Chain A
Amino acid sequence: MPPYDDWNRIDDEEDDELQDDYLEAKRDVILFCIDCSESMFAQRDDPRYEPGEVKTCHLQTALEAAVEIQKKKVIVGPNDSVGILLFNTTRKTEVKRSDTTEIKRHTYIYQPLEQISAPKIQEVMQLLDATRENPDELREAFPPLTGKKVPMGDVFTSCNWVLRDGYAPKTASKRIFLITDDDDPHSGAGSEQLLRSAKTTLDDLVQTGVTVEPFFISTDERSFDVAKFYSQVLPNGTTNGDENEESSTLPESISITRIDDLLAQMRFHEVPKRALFSIPFELAPGFTIGVKGYGLVTEQKKGSYKYFVDLGDRMELVNSTTRYVDEGTETEMDKSKIVYGMSIGATIADDDDDISGIGTRAVQAGKRPFYTAEEIRSFRTLGLEPKIRLLGFKDRETLLFEDNIKHSNFIYPDELIYAGSKRTFSALIKSMVSKNKIGLVLTLTRRNATPTFCALLPQEEKEDDAGWTDPPGFHLVPLPFADDIRAAPIEEACRASDELKDLAKAWVEKLAVKNGAYPPDSYPNPALAYHNAQLQASAFREEFDAESFEDLTEPKVDVMHRRAGKLIVAWKEALLEDDSASMVPATTGSKRKADVNVAEAEIRSKWESGTLSKLRVDQLKEFLKSKSLAVSGKKDDLIQRVSEWMESH
């Protein structure tokens, strides 16, 4: 028997759902860079509690957010690295090793950049716990620098060194989450020079492939003004020296936020934005723009377990490799020599004179009845190159609810491949929205994917109440092929009368949300959360408390009963009096059958009197079948199952 996990492995040649693996393959590195100046320690009410009850400070909230992000990241990407750098503190970094560069004064490495681990997360959590007991704990741990500010240039230089010395693989995406509440760190003399040095060091940082994602904290008393300092420092369109150019725009990822929303804002940036594909979009022959595709909706699954081996002192991860073996000769075949064909089929038992053994095919030397990897790829792609090809437009209504097979992707213009993509793309969205059209496209997203027809659903940008913006772009909704569509197996059934329908309408209305839609944000995946909570408990060596787990996807039955309970009772009563209650379904088949239908009430009374065994097996089975329960097993099993159902109903 093949090992259990073999079926989990996807063959690289044959897979077209590589996307998630691809996402996980790239590591993510985040360096939290948190301001520790006096204002960050200012005590204020914790909004989660009654006013005046619990105090917190910006630094505490920032660290809490950092912990939450680490906790989430560790599960999504166990190989990702995180570090925490604090600035404007007098605490000094102890130099542990000679090969690490001493970082700039008044910046402090709280946690060096390394792979996330349970002890690291717990370290911060313990500090935060202590702070809740004694609010001065944080101040003692990281005494703020008073009277002056560390030059931002120094902060960026330190970041650069931390990233260089830390565990940050070359291919990883590296990001700095800059958290500060000071919009003008260098207001005094020499500000020009400090600004310039900050800008230069930040430019250097960006040159090495690092992205800075600023989180600027705004308060009621003092709103954060980007124009004072940061808009001149942060990389944007003005770096070519043409300072006054009108068209320069601010970076897209600035978050100016109230501290309470910090975590929510960070969530938007939690996963680095990675494109699944970057391909041309051919609107018509000779009219092509560039687009990038993103997976905005992808099923997040539980991580798969890994194998470890006990080395005595520690557990070590074991990797697996796959080899392809000719079992007839027990020789391993090199991947480059593999050719592809189809199964040879069962052998005819008798006059089979095939001497070479099962699963082989003999041909004259020099001939090859199999395909090469390249050939089979061309069968899958039908010779297409990765591209989206517009076929035309259709009415929005033609995109049916049932024409769905998998999640959609999102495309956004890519100006770097085709200049002019953005304006074309933007005009296309506007046209299609105003005409209420969808596009029909043929897509081949990657070289080893298969051609698929997709509906191109335009989305205009729109801001919602929570401050989240629906990005402008198109959703690529894969359409089913004829091969994927199944016919309805049932063509006829009893219909409800208008009276019954109206009674149903009454309670349906009561249970409807007025202006809502399906709210994904309200439904965290309970099974995943349950798994992750246990995983975290296991890593922290804590006991998992299943009792305290709350499943938010369960229907809010109390509210439902309060609103519609009475109406449902009325509907149910009418249903019982409906003609259909006494109808016996037409039995199919010509065979004469014993009467196997026993009224539920009768079965219940037999159950109550403990005389279920008086019923025949076929009668029990019929009842179980009507309840969609299993009908397997001996009579005792059936009685057991009926009893269980009776107990629960």
Chain B
Amino acid sequence: MPAERAGYTVTMFLVDLSPSMGTTRNVELPPDANGDQHTAEITNLEYGLQFVKLKIQEMIYNGRKTDQCGVIVFGSEETDNIVNEKNGGYEHVSEYIPIGQPNASTLAKLDALEPSSVAGDPIDALVVAVETQNTYLASKKTWTRKVVLVTDGESPMETEDWEAIVQKMDTLDVWLTVVGVDFDDDELPFYEENKSSIKKANEEFLTQFASSLRTGIIGTCALALRETTKPDIKQTKSTLMGTVLRLGDTDTRPEEAFEINVKNSKCTAIARAKSWKKFAMRPMDEEDGMDEEDRQAIYAELKMRSEYHLDPNIGEDEDGVKMEVDEEDKTKALEVVEKEQLIRGFKYGSTYAPCPDGQFPKLPTRKGIDICGFFKAKNFRRELSMGEIQYIWADPGQPQQQVALSSIVQAMIQKGYMAIARWVTKDGMDPKMGVLSPVMFDKVECFLWAQMPFADDIRKYTFASLDRLINKRGELITEHPYIPTKEQQAAMDKFVDAMDLMEAGDKDEDGNRQPWFDTRLSYNPAVHRVKQAMFHCAVVTDIATNPLPPPHPELLKYFDPPKRVLKYAKDAIEECQATFKVRQVPKRVAKQRKDGHVHARYDDDEMLLLDKKPTTKTQGATQSPTQTRSAQSSPKGKAKETKPPDSETEDDESDGEMLLDRAAPFKAEHPAAKKPPSNHPLPTPARSMSPDPGRAPGRIIGAAFPLKDFRQNLESGDLVTKAVEDLGEVIKEIVVKPFAMRRKAELLECMEALRETCLKEDEIDAWNSFLKGLKTVCASSPGNSAFWSAVQTHNETLSLITKAEAKEHGGLSLILASEAEEFFS
């Protein structure tokens, strides 16, 4: 059997249109936006056509001119095929789409197919297909011939002479694939219940037929469909490129130098997803008199065009301060320049360095790989490897060169060396530096080349030491929140051991567990997902009603740690969580600031000054020479409210380790986070005398200035649910603290603001449940019944939100007016 080569193939699709194909079935659709499952009713024909369309789509996707297909339908009302024309017979078989390179209209035509009223014979169709294909390929003997038969096997078949057909197909080397709708399949597995006897017989026959062929397979449609979405690696055969491996000066001292003829080929090469084409809908002709039904939306492919223009704002602007021009003005000021007027050059600061060719003369170089020296492989710095890996082979046609390379590879392996080499791919090309690593396979030696960085490619950024912390007196500090304690280190050691993957994979033949994860089995999820999406959008007519099915599970298999490992590591993880106490710091802190002085926070001028430039500030902080400083708490930096509260919410716990953790408020990652993190209910301890919002971990509302915090959060707008919830919790906490009545007015004001927000922001349920909770809290011990009485006096503004009131604001509530009244009485 000749090896399959890409393209140079004609595939004939044979589609059964017999009445039985009109039987409907339910298929599951992917979950919609709300996560609900839906099913759709489709005919067996539509079901089977999905496979055909996916296959054709793949051809369109690959875009090979030599990958062609034709469609023949059987069970059609009319008869239109070359065998019938010549010899008669073979009725109800029609050549539906002639052989050619498929395109979108091929798919559109398939969509137009409908079950007919006459039964068709698959074997007739097969004969017609083979004949049609043979005629088409009369002068293209080397092309691969494929036939795909889609049928439900419910129609009678003429099975006489089938051996002759098999023989004919084998002579022509035709590959047959039978896709049976609801055929029994051991692999899936699937077994149809109540199978009709005719289908049973047909299935048996087709199975026998397919297996008699040299290249025939049969399978059920469901499996075939699943297989089409399975990631499939496009095998690319790397070409062998010739070059020489050189050592020494071959020009003047050739006797002491050598050249080996070698070939290089790619060992790794980044596979990228095919790029998307851009389309836009043409504006619809409104005056078109057509019915809504017939109206068409036409999407046209867009082409990219470049335009060159002069920005007059640049250049006049010599004062240095760049004027802020808003977008509209900018476009107006543009002066379009014709491409012919342009001169190439480089920028050298504000100076222009002309270079009409687009590049300066290049460094003269000579093709080949020059060995510069050897070094111990154990000193190789893996992280410096910069790109794709190449194989370097001795010329396969020259045994002496093979022996020469083999001797060097073996010598290097024995000594544990790698080579430093300089590679010029073509005379005059820019050289690359890299290392050659010797490799010994079963029967051949070669080198692997990895490109390494030039001095220019390395950025030597300085980073603060994690271990060596020096205080300002120049002494080394050994205890600091940045330095893990013995206990923490032990927890981490345990975690690393628990999360080991070396024996977390599947078992091999001997029952030994293999490592989990193998690059050779890790499909690029983006590439395959994009490909699936591209297929899908070409097959369906509307994305909104027929969204892309979920990715094949094979793509996501390495997305999470193996369940076994996580389960095993549960204790270690919990221990780490408990000992390291990592807290998320709220993101939006640039807006708030606070000085070491109590009054400073009300200093409007300074507030403004800082609010103006949040970006610069952030940048300044991250780039400031002391990360230490910003992280810890400085008077003006960002980590402002990482200070502890000194309000009555404080707790007695005081632990040096908490230095960093002090009330670093944890901001929920998702605005919609529903649960307040209850695992840290206590505010953290106080150290400083400065006021603090007193936010508990995970809260965005503090006990010190709840209303202010609340309003600020509302302004920023994205955390309303969380703000509402937190304010409620905070109020409930404050109410039961000693001296809470001093803050009565403040609390009532908070509640009014809360209620108002709930009403507006559709958080009505949150208010109602908060109020009920508050009542309970006040009534229980220690409680605060006085406060509840105060609330009751504000019947107007603080009552439960009733159905009627909610409706007024476009919301929903289940509370009746009578209930609300009773609640407050």
Q: Which of B255, B446, B491 contacts A569 (CB 8 A)?
A: B255
Considering the complex, which residues of chain A in the window 335-356 have a beta carbon less than 8 Å from any beta carbon of chain B?
337-350, 352-354, 356
Q: What does the 1/0 interface line of B250-278 toward A look like (CB < 8 Å)? A: 11011111110101011111110111111
**B231 CB contacts on chain A under 8 angstroms:** 482
Cβ of B458 < 8 Å from any Cβ of A?
A: yes
**B304 CB contacts on chain A under 8 angstroms:** 2, 6, 322-325
Cβ of A601 < 8 Å from any Cβ of B?
A: no
Q: Which of A247, A380, A528 contacts B273 (CB 8 A)?
A: A380
Cβ of B504 < 8 Å from any Cβ of A?
A: yes
Q: If the complex has contacts A287-B573, A324-B303, A431-B492, are A209 and B400 also in contact, measured as CB distance less than 8 A?
A: no
- Chain B: interface residue count, which band? 35 or more
Q: Are A118 and B348 in contact (CB under 8 A)?
A: yes
Which residue of chain B has its CB nearest to the CB of A395?
Answer: B502
Q: What does the 1/0 interface line of A70-88 toward B look like (CB < 8 Å)? A: 0000110011100000000
Cβ of B29 < 8 Å from any Cβ of A?
A: no
Q: Are A526 and B625 in contact (CB under 8 A)?
A: no
Q: Are B465 and A513 in contact (CB under 8 A)?
A: no
- Stretch of B114-122, B555-563, B749-757, B760-768 at the chain-chain interface: B555-563
Q: Name the residue in B256, B279, B415, B467 with the highest tally of chain A Cβ atoms < 10 Å from its Cβ.
A: B279
Q: Are A504 and B616 in contact (CB under 8 A)?
A: no
Q: Are B373 and A326 in contact (CB under 8 A)?
A: no
**A303 CB contacts on chain B under 8 angstroms:** 346-347
Q: Are B348 and A74 in contact (CB under 8 A)?
A: yes
- Stretch of B83-91, B136-144, B212-220, B520-528 at the chain-chain interface: B520-528
Considering the complex, which residues of chain B in the window 492-524 have a beta carbon less than 8 Å from any beta carbon of chain A?
492-493, 495-497, 499-502, 504, 515-517, 519-524
Considering the complex, which residues of chain A in the window 6-34 have a beta carbon less than 8 Å from any beta carbon of chain B?
6, 11, 13-14
Q: Are B256 and A565 in contact (CB under 8 A)?
A: yes
Which residue of chain A has its CB nearest to the CB of B620?
Answer: A209
Cβ of A166 < 8 Å from any Cβ of B?
A: yes
Q: Are B103 and A581 in contact (CB under 8 A)?
A: no
Q: Are B484 and A362 in contact (CB under 8 A)?
A: no
Q: If the complex has contacts A419-B582, A513-B374, are A496 and B484 also in contact, measured as CB distance less than 8 A?
A: no
**B540 CB contacts on chain A under 8 angstroms:** 369
**B400 CB contacts on chain A under 8 angstroms:** 494, 575, 578, 580-581, 583
CB distance from A426 to the nearest CB of B (A): 4
Q: Are B661 and A539 in contact (CB under 8 A)?
A: no
Q: Name the residue in A5, A315, A496 with the highest tally of chain B Cβ atoms < 10 Å from its Cβ.
A: A496
**A502 CB contacts on chain B under 8 angstroms:** 411
- Bound together, the chains give a CA A528 to CA B431 distance in angstroms of 10
Q: Are A284 and B566 in contact (CB under 8 A)?
A: yes
Q: Are B542 and A369 in contact (CB under 8 A)?
A: yes
CB distance from A77 to the nearest CB of B (A): 9
Q: What does the 1/0 interface line of A514-545 toward B look like (CB < 8 Å)? A: 01111011111111101100111011000010
Q: If the complex has contacts A14-B275, A364-B296, A394-B502, are A568 and B342 also in contact, measured as CB distance less than 8 A?
A: no
**B560 CB contacts on chain A under 8 angstroms:** 389, 391
Q: Which of A237, A309, A364, A494 contacts B310 (CB 8 A)?
A: A309
Cβ of B157 < 8 Å from any Cβ of A?
A: no
9 A-B pairs whose Cβ atoms sit less than 8 Å apart in the complex? A241-B635, A318-B309, A382-B529, A391-B501, A424-B484, A440-B517, A494-B400, A520-B384, A521-B458
Q: How many CB-defined contacts (below 8 Å) exist between A and B?
A: 919
Cβ of B474 < 8 Å from any Cβ of A?
A: yes
Which residue of chain B has its CB nearest to the CB of A76?
Answer: B456
Q: Which of A357, A399, A410, A511 contacts B382 (CB 8 A)?
A: A399
**A557 CB contacts on chain B under 8 angstroms:** 248-249, 253, 257
Cβ of A381 < 8 Å from any Cβ of B?
A: yes
Q: Are B482 and A348 in contact (CB under 8 A)?
A: no
Q: Are B565 and A392 in contact (CB under 8 A)?
A: yes
Cβ of B642 < 8 Å from any Cβ of A?
A: yes
Considering the complex, which residues of chain B in the window 595-641 have a beta carbon less than 8 Å from any beta carbon of chain A?
596, 613, 615-617, 619-636, 638-639
Q: If the complex has contacts A167-B321, A580-B402, are A297 and B453 also in contact, measured as CB distance less than 8 A?
A: yes
**A177 CB contacts on chain B under 8 angstroms:** none
- Bound together, the chains give a CA A307 to CA B526 distance in angstroms of 36
Q: What does the 1/0 interface line of A420-461 toward B look like (CB < 8 Å)? A: 111111111111101101001010000000110100010101
What 15 new A-B contacts, CB under 8 Å, besides A495-B406, A516-B376? A235-B624, A235-B629, A240-B634, A240-B635, A283-B573, A382-B526, A424-B576, A431-B496, A461-B468, A496-B403, A508-B374, A520-B457, A526-B431, A535-B360, A557-B249
- Stretch of A138-146, A185-193, A251-259, A607-615 at the chain-chain interface: A251-259
Q: Which of B100, B374, B488 contacts A427 (CB 8 A)?
A: B488
Q: Are B569 and A284 in contact (CB under 8 A)?
A: yes
Cβ of A606 < 8 Å from any Cβ of B?
A: no
Q: Which of A392, A406, A422 contacts B466 (CB 8 A)?
A: A422
Q: What does the 1/0 interface line of A476-496 toward B look like (CB < 8 Å)? A: 010111111110111111111
Q: Which of B233, B299, B468 contacts A361 (CB 8 A)?
A: B299
Q: Are B265 and A518 in contact (CB under 8 A)?
A: no
For the complex of A and B, the 6 pairs showing the least CB-CB separation, nearest first, are: A628-B242, A251-B625, A116-B349, A209-B620, A496-B407, A527-B430
Q: Are A482 and B104 in contact (CB under 8 A)?
A: no
Cβ of A134 < 8 Å from any Cβ of B?
A: no
Q: If the complex has contacts A321-B307, A392-B565, A528-B456, are A380 and B103 also in contact, measured as CB distance less than 8 A?
A: no
CB distance from A551 to the nearest CB of B (A): 7
Cβ of A503 < 8 Å from any Cβ of B?
A: yes
Q: If the complex has contacts A251-B625, A338-B278, are A361 and B258 also in contact, measured as CB distance less than 8 A?
A: no
- Stretch of B391-399, B713-721, B734-742 at the chain-chain interface: B391-399
Q: Which of A167, A287, A553 contacts B582 (CB 8 A)?
A: A287
Cβ of B26 < 8 Å from any Cβ of A?
A: no
Q: Are B60 and A534 in contact (CB under 8 A)?
A: no
Cβ of A505 < 8 Å from any Cβ of B?
A: yes
Q: Are A572 and B258 in contact (CB under 8 A)?
A: yes
Q: Are A539 and B353 in contact (CB under 8 A)?
A: yes
Cβ of A238 < 8 Å from any Cβ of B?
A: yes
Q: If the complex has contacts A430-B484, A500-B403, A649-B254, are A368 and B543 also in contact, measured as CB distance less than 8 A?
A: yes
- Bound together, the chains give a CA A578 to CA B254 distance in angstroms of 20
- Bound together, the chains give a CA A645 to CA B151 distance in angstroms of 64
Q: Name the residue in A269, A361, A578 with the highest tally of chain B Cβ atoms < 10 Å from its Cβ.
A: A361
- Stretch of B163-171, B183-191, B435-443, B811-819 at the chain-chain interface: B435-443
Which residue of chain B has its CB nearest to the CB of A544?
Answer: B360
- Stretch of B5-13, B312-320, B770-778, B792-800 at the chain-chain interface: B312-320
Cβ of A294 < 8 Å from any Cβ of B?
A: yes
Q: If the complex has contacts A271-B459, A405-B270, are A530 and B363 also in contact, measured as CB distance less than 8 A?
A: yes
